[in-house]
Amino acid sequence: MRLGPSFWKAQLWGWGAYALAGYILSIPNMLGDSSALGPLPIGLLKLLRSALGLLLSAGMAQVLDRMWARRPSLWVLGVTSLAMSTVLAAVWQTALRWMFGLTPVFHHGFPHDVLNYLVVLLAWSALFLSNAYRMDLDAEREQVLRALSLATEARWQMLRYQVNPHFLFNALNSIRALVDEEPGRARQMITELADFFRYSLLETRERDVPLGDELRAIRSYLEIQRIRFEDRLRVSFDIEPGTESIRLPGFLIHPLVENAVKHGLDTQKGPLELRIRARVEGGWLEVEVANSGRWRPPEVGSVTPGPGRPDGTGTGLANVRERLAHAYPERHRFEVREDAGWVKATLRVEQGQREAA
């Protein structure tokens, strides 16, 4: 928070130091001019001047904070700061002379005193805006680090939960059964398995990958499952031209496909229809993974599979939601719903602001 406890602590320390510096600079005048105000009135004047500066800058902080949240241009911030500082500097000087009964209020040195206060308020504005920029930069850096951490965690969670030993065991068993009977299909399955694990184990520093790369890994995964389940799995892709080059956080779509295969086969006896669709509409990329069957949400707190509930705890979907929240804050939509015999997992992400970031 820009106006949190740390802001007010800095305000008190800063304006306190301003009062102390003003008093110290006044000591030579008090010693060299017998007609000057005494130490106590001077100290009271400097303290009151700082208190007024604190109040005026607090009002400026409210205005600048609201403006900063709207991300205006630098010249708008500069002009606004200059205008506010000029008006408040005149108010500051006028109020100070009126409180101490110094007459006339608008004397010949009034413009000079206002200019001094104007410089102080402009310096305060520059400090406030630079601190706001630093805080936003720190928040953005933290968000990037968190997203990188989630991407790394997703790789390992994919190996642990999605690419689990059961998947590898079943794939190898299928290959073994095909080696003698259909060696061509066995070789194809080995190739698809190798391609899939090449993507799964890819070590890269890039946070995002082209959608086409993930779709190729998904095709390998589904080809393995299709060889294993034969006619029980029917897959179709509807990928709009140009969408495969759009970059997304890696391993974002695969958990949706894995859930569709696993839970779709569990909730129906006949063939499983699986549709994967990607398109761009109004600056938003939409990816939908739909499967025939029924939607059975994971039970909260359940870690043991059983009759009538899915084989899993929703780790994949929870990870997708968390990664979307960090990669596209307030610029994404994600939902899983059942619609006329289809279970549809749909994610939408805004492309314009993501690419500009």
Q: How high is the pLDDT of residue 167?
A: 67
pLDDT band, residue 242 (cuts 50/70/90): very high
Helices 110-157 and 315-327 pack at an angle, to 10 degrees, of 150
Amino acid 181: pLDDT:
78
Residue-averaged pLDDT of the chain: 80
pLDDT at 306: 40
Give per-residue pLDDT as tens, 203-220: 444 468 899 988 988 888
The predicted structure's pLDDT at residue 175: 84
Whose CA is closest to 81, among 133, 118, 125, 129? 125
Q: Report pLDDT for 25.
A: 79
Q: 14-46 burial string, b = 16+ CB within 10 Å, else e? A: ebeebbeebbeebeeeeeeeeeeeeeeebbebb
What pLDDT shows up at residue 102?
67
pTM of structure = 0.51
Class for the domain spanning 163-356: alpha beta
The pLDDT, as a whole number, for residue 336 is 92
Confidence check: pLDDT of 48 > 60: yes
pLDDT in tens, 314-337: 667 887 888 888 888 889 999 999
pLDDT of residue 299: 55
pLDDT digits (tens, 9 = 90+) for 12-29: 898 888 888 888 877 776
What confidence tens digit (pLDDT) does each residue in 122-159 have?
Answer: 998 988 888 888 888 888 888 888 777 777 666 555 54
Residue pLDDT, tens place only, 161-198 = 444 566 677 778 878 878 877 888 888 888 888 887 77
What pLDDT shows up at residue 204? Answer: 45
In 3-state terms, what secondary structure has residue 179?
helix
pLDDT at 304: 39
DSSP letters of 87-109? Answer: HHHHHHHHHHHHHTT-S-SS-TT
How do the domains of the chain map onto residue ranges? 5-140, 163-356
